[in-house]
């Protein structure tokens, strides 16, 4: 298989190129997915935005090692106490070590002076208490560890197979990062798969991605409560083919009980396009039974102070609009949105300019923002009937 060296962030990475006309897939022995660059960018920004230093970091499914190498080259000084990088593939492990060696002069790990020369790294020899590379099954890797402040789970497909081990080994006060790429199961394309894998009913309409990410959040939280660990989302988003969630982790029965109280249902009326969130698993609107999704997390998706820091730290112009939208959305932080195009279609109304509608809503004293989930939608405290009246007014 052909290889080439690329640059992502400050990291130089050697990657294997897929054969012509073949997409990135789990069949590849070691794969690098350029579409996940934003995912890795936000991981770096988030860790640089938290005040804590001397972090113990774990990357159980490292692949080419690009995420770990970016941590080692881009996190602030004194941020990393130790980083453990793991993959089950021998080829991947060799590539990880080579990629660390390619960046030897740029490593920010506090133990870099004890890190051997580039040539020895490429021969897979290490002498560093800061950086450890292993070739283990991901569950074995986590279960045999003493725990970590930050664990990043970024699989090809569902994260389910690793959730239990990750929750057990995440430290009190730590951050657990979860990616899911099986969005079809979470977003209503395969409802039976959603029930089996995520213990909830999915929905297939404009709310499908937000409902999907909230269903995934609940699944992770249920695993957490088994170990009396309360998982609270501090940054959650849907992008391209994946969902991404960062959780802060706290220990305590009472904290877990508070989490469970925010597991509710979304009810969507396909006749009028209104929605409601409550504890009931069915609902009537416009004299008809609504489409229902859940149970799902009905609480906040973001920590607004964290998003403010991330927004200020970001220097990548390609990310700016997306991150700014996340920040604006975090200031409102309410579940679900109004899809203006869908509402206008169902009520036979002309579609207003989004900026003008936002201005009208703000003048009425209601908070409002765009949402990253859908370009044609807004989030707002305004009730549905008042929104319809505002759209009708010229």
* pLDDT at 26 exceeding the cut of 60: no
Q: Is residue 169 part of a domain?
A: yes
The pLDDT score that the predictor gives to residue 31 is 72
Query: How many domains are there within the chain?
Result: 2
* pLDDT at 143 exceeding the cut of 60: yes
Residues 11 and 97 occupy one common structural domain: yes
Residues 238 and 144 occupy one common structural domain: yes
Q: Is residue 280 part of a domain?
A: no
Residues 235 and 160 occupy one common structural domain: yes
Q: Is residue 273 part of a domain?
A: no
* pLDDT at 185 exceeding the cut of 60: yes
The better pLDDT of the pair 118, 265 is held by 265
Average pLDDT along the chain: 92
Q: Give the 3-state secondary structure of the chain.
A: CCEEEEEECCEEEEEECCCCCCCCCCCCCCCCCHHHHHHHHHHHHHHHHCCCCCEEEEECCCCCCHHHHHHHHHCCCCCEEEEEEECCCHHHHHHHHHHHHHCHHHCCCCCHHHCCCHHHHHCCCCCCCCEEEECCCHHHHHHCCCCEEEEEECCCCCCHHHHHHHHHHEEEEEEEEEEECCHHHHCCCCHHHHHHHHCCECCCCCCHHHHHHHHHHHHHHHHHHHCCEEEEEEEEEEECCEEEEEEEEEECHHHHHHHHCCEEEEEECCCCCCEEEECCCCCEECCEECEEEEEEECCCCCCHHHHHHHHHHCCCHHHHHHHHHHHHHHHHCCCCCEEHHHHHHHCCCCCCCHHHHHHHHHHCCCCEEEECCEEEEEEECCCHHHHHHHHHCC
CATH number of the domain within which 327 lies = 3.30.56.70
Residues 310 and 241 occupy one common structural domain: no
Q: Is residue 276 part of a domain?
A: no
The pLDDT score that the predictor gives to residue 393 is 85
Which residue segment(s) compose the domain that 354 sits in?
Answer: 302-392
Residues 94 and 162 occupy one common structural domain: yes
* Residue at which a domain ends, from 267, 291, 311: 267
For 103-120, what is the mean pLDDT? 58
CATH number of the domain within which 34 lies = 3.40.50.150
Residues 72 and 199 occupy one common structural domain: yes
For 6-32, what is the mean pLDDT? 75
Give the pLDDT band of residue 16 (cuts 50, 70, 90).
Answer: confident
The pLDDT score that the predictor gives to residue 293 is 98
The better pLDDT of the pair 27, 283 is held by 283
Q: Over the stretch 239-281, which tens digit does the pLDDT of each residue have?
A: 999 999 999 999 999 999 999 999 999 999 999 999 999 999 9
Residues 237 and 377 occupy one common structural domain: no
For 137-156, what is the mean pLDDT? 97
Q: Over the stretch 35-56, which tens digit does the pLDDT of each residue have?
A: 999 999 999 999 999 999 999 9
Q: Over the stretch 163-172, which tens digit does the pLDDT of each residue have?
A: 999 999 999 9
Residues 33 and 137 occupy one common structural domain: yes
């Amino acid at each position: 298989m052909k290889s080439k060296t690329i640059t992502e962030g400050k990291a130089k990475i050697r990657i294997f190129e897929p054969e012509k006309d073949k997409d990135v897939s789990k069949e590849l022995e070691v794969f690098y997915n350029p579409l996940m660059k934003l995912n890795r960018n936000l991981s770096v920004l988030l860790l640089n935005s938290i005040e804590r230093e001397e972090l113990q970091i774990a990357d159980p499914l490292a692949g080419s090692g690009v995420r770990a190498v970016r941590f080692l080259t881009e996190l602030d000084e004194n941020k990393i106490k130790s980083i453990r990088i793991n993959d089950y593939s021998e080829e991947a492990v060799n590539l990880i070590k080579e990629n660390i060696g390619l960046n030897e002069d740029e490593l920010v790990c506090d133990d870099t002076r004890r890190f051997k020369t580039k040539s020895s790294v490429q021969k897979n020899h290490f002498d560093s208490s800061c950086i450890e590379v292993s070739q283990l099954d991901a569950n074995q890797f986590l279960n045999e560890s003493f725990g970590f402040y930050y664990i990043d789970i970024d699989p090809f497909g569902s994260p389910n197979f690793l959730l239990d081990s990750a929750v057990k080994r995440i430290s009190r006060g730590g951050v657990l990062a979860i990616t899911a790429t099986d969005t079809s199961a979470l977003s209503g394309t395969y409802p039976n798969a959603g029930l089996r894998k995520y213990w909830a009913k999915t929905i297939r309409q404009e709310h499908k991605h937000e409902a999907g990410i909230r269903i995934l959040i609940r699944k992770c939280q249920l695993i957490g409560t088994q170990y009396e660990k309360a998982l609270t989302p501090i940054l959650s988003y849907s992008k391209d083919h994946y969902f991404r969630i960062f959780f802060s982790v706290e220990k305590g029965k009472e904290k877990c009980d508070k989490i469970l109280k925010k597991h509710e249902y979304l009810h969507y009326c396909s006749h009028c396009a209104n929605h409601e969130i409550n504890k009931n698993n069915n609902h009537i609107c416009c004299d008809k039974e609504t489409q229902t999704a859940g149970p799902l997390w009905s609480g906040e998706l973001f920590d607004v102070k964290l998003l403010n820091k991330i927004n200020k730290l970001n220097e990548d112009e390609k990310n700016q609009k997306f991150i700014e939208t996340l920040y604006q959305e975090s200031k409102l932080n309410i579940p679900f949105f109004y899809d203006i195009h869908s509402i206008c279609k169902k009520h036979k109304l002309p579609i207003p300019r989004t900026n003008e509608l936002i201005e009208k809503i703000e003048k009425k004293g209601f908070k409002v923002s765009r949402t990253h989930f859908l370009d044609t939608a807004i989030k707002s405290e305004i009730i549905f009937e008042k929104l319809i009246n505002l759209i009708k007014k010229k």
